[in-house]
Amino acid sequence: MRNRVKEYRARYNYSQEKLAKRIGVTRQTIGFIEKNKMLPSVLLALKCAKVFDCKVEDLFILEEKIGDDS
């Protein structure tokens, strides 16, 4: 999974600290998510999407293949 949290933060001119305070986590948590060292919970992903007024799928992109079409 990849994410666009850093991109959205830049678009909204939010620091990691400001985003963290808006969604109730630490700055380090935002850093870990942005570096793909931590997958956010569903609740955290929803809170991020709400702050940025977008869909969760716009922020977090599932890249692995699901199922087999062959």
pLDDT of residue 9: 97
pLDDT of residue 63: 84
Q: What is the pTM of this model?
A: 0.85
- The partner residues of 59 in beta bridges, in order of sequence, read none
pLDDT of residue 64: 73
Q: What is the pLDDT of residues 15-61, one digit of tens each?
A: 999 999 999 999 999 999 999 999 999 999 999 999 999 999 999 99
Domains identified in the chain and CATH numbers: 2-58 (1.10.260.40)
